[in-house]
Amino acid sequence: MSRTVPFTVLEEAVYNIEQTFTPWNIQLELETSEPISIDRLESAVRTACAIHPLARAQKCPASTLDTDYVWEIPDVPDAGSITERTDSSSVSAARSEFYAESFDLEEEPPFRVLVLRGKGIDDGDRLCLSVSHTPADGVATLRLLRTICRAYRGEKPAAEGIPLAESRQLVEEIRPSGLSDRVQLLGAATSHLGKLLDRPSRLASDSTTGQSGWGFVHRQLDETLFESVVENRPADTSINDMLLTAVHLAVDIWNSDHGDPAGKISLLMPVNLRPEEWFYDVFGMYALFESIVTRPTHRDDPQSAVEAVRSQTTTIKQEQRAAALLESLNLVPNVTPVGIKRRSPELLRGPGESLVDTVMLSNLGRVPELSGIGEAEPTLWFSPPSWQPTPVSIGVVTAGGTMQIVFRHMYTALDDAAAIEFADCFERQLRRLV
């Protein structure tokens, strides 16, 4: 037996983008100091899929005349795809290959698991989780991993804090009920069309590799710098504001050093729509996106850049401006065939590229306790997808008092050496701020 649920407008938008451009897969990795039992892992994954309905869902086939994409959720969970690699290839090579593979959501569940033998802490194993962005965001991916880890350790995982149907209703309830408020939100959404005449700068390319796909640079913020960011930030300025500002300054310097000075820099920032009581709960796609912009005058000095970023993030929080994107998605009539809707991402090519940001930063924040799969404290890594013309995405997660950062880069824009240099540049700018 199975049940069906229609895609939300967010799932539909992400699915259509992924089908048009590059795979939109979320990276989450857990370094352990122990060997991982595949049998125990398969059992833990089945348990996790039983708890999180969308983790076991597959997309129903759709004709071009259908008006909705639909999920089919089977009652009996499957362990999905679990692969182990014991070869001597590098972690970076295995990682690039694993996360570059797109999902066929009509043939498989929306996640895959890879175990890299001996590539963890002190020759322990590394658990890699790739999740399609269509049914899930970064928080959902983390929630799935936490459930897998608890089940692997033989503990009873917590159920989702809210039923699936009720949580999906959030996507609709976040829209204002009053017409005047909806018109105001729509005005905020259509203001993004001004980007057509105010194109964001592109990150200067530095690649000689000729490769396609993604590379990944992993950085752990040293304890002294992390403490300085926490303790020395200006009043009413969040840690995320500091990270966003450091990225703006890094892009500014990077482009200047490469002979392509930046004008307007636009940084894509996901916003978690979940209410506070289940902020880190529920496997689903509950992220909307906002752009944080600076111009050359803002970047004349670090303090001006921080203030420019802080004022924008404060406005977004106060006015719930991220819901403006949701309002614009709802402009498409419900009776529109999916064959037409799936062509909408083509608008982002050519002149439409002006609507796309320079780089992306997604910060999961200080996540709830994650015990991993063994006794030792694990190391956690995360990154969102990147795509042209936003070729670098930066993922940040803080666990156990340590901040880990991943710079995911498209090889067409930055080769491995250049991506390391860009990560160095970011760290230098973060030190400038504190």
Which of 140, 168, 196 represents a domain boundary (last residue)? 168
- Residues 113 and 197 occupy one common structural domain: no
Which of 122, 140, 168 represents a domain boundary (last residue)? 168
Q: Do the Cβ atoms of 132 and 110 come closer than 8 Å?
A: yes
- Residues 147 and 222 occupy one common structural domain: no
- Residues 253 and 356 occupy one common structural domain: yes
- Residues 216 and 355 occupy one common structural domain: yes
Q: Are strands 265-272 and 287-294 parallel, antiparallel or unpaired?
A: antiparallel
Q: What 3-state class would DSSP assign to 112?
A: strand
Domain annotation covers residue 319: yes
Which of 168, 196, 214 represents a domain boundary (last residue)? 168
- Residues 290 and 423 occupy one common structural domain: yes
- Residues 193 and 342 occupy one common structural domain: yes
pLDDT at 350 (0 to 100): 41
Domain annotation covers residue 173: no
- Residues 14 and 130 occupy one common structural domain: yes
Helix-strand-coil split of the chain, %, nearest 5: 40, 20, 35
pLDDT at 354 (0 to 100): 43
- Residues 105 and 206 occupy one common structural domain: no
Domain annotation covers residue 414: yes
The CATH number given to whatever domain includes residue 299 is: 3.30.559.30
Long-range contacts formed by 414-418: CB under 8 A, 24+ apart: 414/203, 414/205, 414/206, 414/207, 414/215, 415/206, 415/207, 415/208, 415/209, 415/211, 415/215, 416/92, 416/209, 416/215, 416/217, 418/206, 418/207
The CATH number given to whatever domain includes residue 48 is: 3.30.559.10
- Residues 149 and 200 occupy one common structural domain: no
pLDDT at 180 (0 to 100): 53
- Residues 148 and 188 occupy one common structural domain: no
Q: Do the Cβ atoms of 114 and 45 come closer than 8 Å?
A: no
- Residues 163 and 34 occupy one common structural domain: yes
pLDDT at 43 (0 to 100): 95
- Which helix (H) or strand (E) segment is 289 a member of? strand 287-294
Residue bearing tokens 């983790």: 55
Domain annotation covers residue 280: yes
d(CA 175, CA 261): 39
The number of distinct structural domains making up the chain is 2
pLDDT at 395 (0 to 100): 98
- pLDDT 10s digit of each residue in the chain, 434 long? 789 999 988 898 889 888 887 888 999 999 999 999 999 999 999 999 999 999 999 999 998 887 889 999 999 888 788 999 998 889 999 999 999 999 999 999 999 999 999 999 999 999 999 999 999 999 999 999 999 999 999 999 999 988 898 888 876 666 555 545 544 555 555 555 555 568 899 999 999 988 888 999 999 999 999 999 999 999 999 999 999 999 999 999 999 999 999 999 999 999 998 888 899 999 999 998 889 999 999 999 999 999 999 999 998 877 566 566 666 565 566 767 777 766 665 444 443 344 589 999 999 999 987 878 877 778 999 999 998 889 999 999 999 889 999 999 999 999 999 999 999 999 999 999 99
Query: Which residue range(s) make up the domain with 57?
Result: 2-168
Contacting residues for 104 by C-beta, under 8 A, at least 6 apart: none
Closest CA to 78 of 105, 109, 104, 51: 109
- Residues 164 and 240 occupy one common structural domain: no
d(CA 81, CA 292): 37
Beta bridge partners of 16: none
